[in-house]
A and B are shown apart, each in its own frame.
Chain A
């Protein structure tokens, strides 16, 4: 049990990143791309996601080590592997897990064929864990302080956040004119569980002393906020499943958010897009509990007093100096803010060679190349990723996007996305880090996404 807890702490001590959806972003043949930019140039008469199957997405990343490094079945002692991982990572290495499941989604076009306003809405569930490698804590657990006299252990190495929530959203995007599409999406968050400990500081050091053998000081300012757990700590008599369902459907800790986005065509074949996703907060006003560990202690050991007598109790002294307090107060967390932007150049006439007698003579490009920038707020410094991509349309029903991404997890992340529409059924599958599929266990990050929708295409002519 303790091992499980230790391992959990170890993993949580890495943080979760990798919410970059570089393949989905601006991949406008799937309506889900609206979730990465509410101002995407997505056109439909109406669409509906197949419930629970319209958007399944997982994203894991670990910048400092891979699953293979820790769990390879190669005869090397696990403890040796663990040491190698701990000593080869830095405190800024991170672990991130993100999972999203769309429960339902849909959208329709407003007004008649000449109008250019679209509505989309839905609900999805999301789990998000982000943790930095708690390197100094890991060193202390592995070695203790004896081999590291003189080292100042940084208690700020513990930086982690984790959340499970459901999101209800309603968005609208409008073709303002031929060149510009603007979009916005309002969100209501219902947080099921939250753990956040992102502003810790403090230090611990041991050096040779003069009046005592060592000079040993611990100074700690640590805080862990939690919500959604307190009911389960003792004497819980309810039903966890129905509890979670209730919290998912607006019974949890609530918050509000906003997505903003745009698409702009300075020329017909040049496209610029940008979006800000999850400008929002969650107010934790129910089932909250915080744990603080604050204080300063200089460890001098027993100090007998032969004259006055003295009853210094080391355990008590320490606990008084740095008490572990359980606090009850409301707190607010900000959602990780994501910024996306892209610039794209299109070429190649994709129209059928035969004359289009319906008068639908809009130019459809076969090929596009572009670059994307992604940034996400994180506890220490924003996470960034740069992507170059190539998009190609094969027939009307198949679109492909190939990406090459550089970020802190990998410098050679190749991804591929396919979206195909057969009849009214749209199916998309996106995966990245394809080079790592030679040996998945050695990958530093992987993301995978797929879904089914039913789409009635936009008509830009009267019936």
Chain B
């Protein structure tokens, strides 16, 4: 009896088997997440372009923007789509330039926009800028970004002018992590 049980036990263990496994498959691991986030937003009232009763033709802001220099982005980001949507309700046209500035303060890439004056109906101006390959490398060298807004000729703005210039903008980032 003892022998029989021993044999059964032995059989179970010696007959046990396993499908072929290949742990080296871990090396094939490839993550391809796509991340969306806000890139930039502003909402400037018409009267904010007026300072001391005088219209400011050119205004701008320079901001740190070195997120794409971070090593994780540098190594794994393969494509970035920037989407911009302007909604202008001021009766003046604008020219807006977004400058990507490198560590030496040189503008290495520019995205220009022409925004027509408001004429009573909503007129969204949209643009999608796709960064890949060489263009993406420029993004990865960017340490600052400048928004420069230039008023185009038209009826002068005053402290009582109505309307605003709105930007909504998002980034879609494509990563490949291997």
Contacts and interface: CB of A to CB of B under 8 A. Distances in A.
Nearest to A146: B34
B103 interface: no
A307 B85 CA distance: 21
Given A73-B21, A142-B31, A416 B9 contact: yes
Interface stretch (A76-84, A256-264, A268-276): A76-84
Interface string B48-87: 1101000000011111111100100000000000010100
B145 interface: yes
B28 A313 contact: no
B48 A301 contact: no
B45 to A, nearest CB: 10
B26 interface: yes
A304 B23 contact: no
Interface stretch (B35-43, B113-121, B129-137, B155-163): B35-43
Contacts of A305: 42, 61
Contacts, number: 186
Interface residues of B, number: 64
Contacts of B26: 3-4, 7, 78
Nearest to A314: B67
A299 B36 CA distance: 11
A138 to B, nearest CB: 10
A433 to B, nearest CB: 10
B42 A68 contact: no
Contacts of B109: none
B130 to A, nearest CB: 15
B2 A72 contact: no
Interface in B124-178: 145, 147, 149, 166, 168-173, 175, 177-178
B172 to A, nearest CB: 6
B55 to A, nearest CB: 13
Contact of A213 (B43, B60, B65, B169): B169
A49 B92 CA distance: 92
A91 to B, nearest CB: 19
B63 A67 contact: no
Given A304-B42, A398-B2, A429 B9 contact: yes
Given A213-B170, A441-B19, A301 B12 contact: no
The 8 closest A-B pairs by CB, nearest first: A144-B33, A437-B16, A301-B38, A313-B64, A302-B40, A304-B61, A213-B170, A78-B25
13 contacts: A3-B29, A145-B36, A213-B170, A302-B39, A302-B65, A313-B63, A313-B64, A316-B64, A431-B12, A439-B17, A440-B17, A440-B18, A442-B19
Interface of A: 2-4, 6-7, 67-68, 70-74, 77-79, 81-82, 140-147, 149, 206, 209, 211-214, 216, 299-307, 309-316, 394-395, 397-398, 400, 416, 418, 420, 429, 431, 434, 437-442
Given A214-B170, A303-B40, 15 more contacts: A6-B31, A79-B28, A145-B34, A146-B172, A212-B170, A214-B36, A299-B38, A301-B39, A301-B170, A303-B41, A305-B61, A310-B63, A312-B64, A395-B1, A438-B17
